[in-house]
């Protein structure tokens, strides 16, 4: 018995109509339509943030954002990829900063223009409470901001939709760097491992791994034992 063909839907990519399988993600729909993606696409699994996409669905006036590798197309969808998200990024030396509100005021003064509209949170494909970590930064709570923003993949959709012109993801990156450098508890096990690496403890094993063919390396990887201290 012949397998039935998958239902097709019509999507509009950069203004032109294409018929694609209804189960397609935006990325697979574009490739099915003949687009060769060289920018705006990365890991294809939903965690690198490269494939930020803006789209509208048929009959819905709202402009939506999502990751093209996760978002499944719908009939009548109109979409456009964003291969680059322009955003101002301050230059700083982490060693010269302090983990306090004055650092936030100096490097990201725009966060104090936040009007609590929550648009940033609604735009986040990772379901991160973006507005909450911005509020934490406004209070100088670096640890809370770092914790809430931990899963950020820097796709830029929050900044794209923000009426206050805040670059939320860059502020979150600073919060995590400050937390990791100054506030997080230090691990003696990590320091011990770093010294082992410097002393060349793993050099021989690493050299053996680099000489393995792909098949052998894959078999060794999946046969490994993981140990927790």
pLDDT digits (tens, 9 = 90+) for 14-37: 889 999 999 999 999 999 999 988
Looking at per-residue confidence, does 218 or 45 come out higher?
218
User: Over 60: is that where the pLDDT of 44 sits?
Assistant: yes
Q: Which of 200, 176, 155 is nearest to 46 (CA)?
A: 155
> Residue 115 carries which DSSP code?
-
Q: Which of 1, 42, 39, 35 is nearest to 18 (CA)?
A: 35
Residues 6+ apart with CB under 8 A from 115: 163, 164
Angular region, 52: left φ>0, alpha ψ -120 to 50, beta rest: beta
Position 1 scores a pLDDT of 44
User: Over 80: is that where the pLDDT of 6 sits?
Assistant: no
Q: Which of 172, 87, 100 is nearest to 129 (CA)?
A: 172
Position 49 scores a pLDDT of 87
Whether residue 130 contacts residue 120, with contact meaning beta carbons closer than 8 Å, is answered with yes
Average pLDDT over residues 3-9: 76
Position 225 scores a pLDDT of 73
In this prediction the pTM is: 0.77
User: Over 50: is that where the pLDDT of 2 sits?
Assistant: no
In the CATH hierarchy, which fold is given to the domain comprising 8-81?
Ubiquitin-like (UB roll) (3.10.20)
Position 39 scores a pLDDT of 80
Helices (H), 39-167: 101-107, 119-123, 130-138, 142-148, 157-161
Whether residue 178 contacts residue 102, with contact meaning beta carbons closer than 8 Å, is answered with no
Neighbours of 195 (CB within 10 A): 10
Average pLDDT over residues 69-74: 94
Position 40 scores a pLDDT of 79
Average pLDDT over residues 189-199: 93
User: Over 70: is that where the pLDDT of 219 sits?
Assistant: yes
CA 81 – CA 41 distance, rounded (Å) = 9
Position 87 scores a pLDDT of 86
Mean pLDDT of the chain: 91
Looking at per-residue confidence, does 94 or 187 come out higher?
94
Q: Which of 147, 103, 111 is nearest to 131 (CA)?
A: 111
φ, ψ of residue 56 to 5 degrees: the values are -125, 145
Position 221 scores a pLDDT of 87
CA 221 – CA 209 distance, rounded (Å) = 10
Radius of gyration of the chain (CA): 23
pLDDT digits (tens, 9 = 90+) for 147-176: 999 999 999 999 998 999 999 999 999 999
In the CATH hierarchy, which fold is given to the domain comprising 94-183?
Fumarate Reductase Iron-sulfur Protein; Chain B, domain 2 (1.10.1060)
Q: How confident is the model at residue 227 (pLDDT cuts 50, 70, 90)?
A: low
Average pLDDT over residues 108-127: 95
**Alpha-carbon torsion (210, 213, 219, 222), positive or negative:** positive
Give the residue extent of every domain in the chain: 8-81, 94-183
Whether residue 128 contacts residue 152, with contact meaning beta carbons closer than 8 Å, is answered with yes
């Amino acid at each position: 018995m012949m397998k039935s063909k998958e239902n097709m839907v019509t999507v509009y990519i950069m203004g032109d109509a294409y018929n694609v399988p209804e189960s397609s993600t935006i990325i697979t729909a574009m490739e099915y339509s003949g687009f060769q993606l060289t920018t705006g696409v990365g890991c294809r699994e939903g965690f690198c943030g490269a494939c930020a996409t803006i789209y509208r669905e048929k009959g819905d006036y709202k402009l939506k954002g999502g990751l093209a590798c996760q978002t499944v197309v719908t009939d009548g969808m109109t979409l456009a990829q964003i291969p680059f998200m322009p955003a101002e990024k301050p230059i700083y030396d982490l060693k010269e900063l302090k983990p306090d509100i004055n650092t936030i005021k100096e490097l990201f003064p725009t966060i104090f223009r936040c009007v609590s509209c929550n648009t940033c949170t609604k735009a986040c494909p990772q379901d991160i409470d973006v507005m909450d970590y911005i509020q934490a930064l406004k209070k100088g709570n670096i640890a809370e901001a770092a914790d809430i923003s931990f899963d950020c993949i820097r796709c830029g959709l929050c900044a794209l939709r923000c009426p206050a012109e805040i670059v939320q993801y860059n502020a979150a990156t600073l919060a995590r760097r400050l937390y990791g450098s100054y506030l997080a508890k230090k691990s003696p096990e990590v320091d011990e491992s770093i010294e082992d690496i410097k002393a060349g403890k793993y050099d021989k094993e690493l050299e053996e791994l680099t000489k393995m063919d792909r098949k052998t390396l894959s078999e060794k990887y999946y046969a490994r034992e993981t140990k927790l201290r």
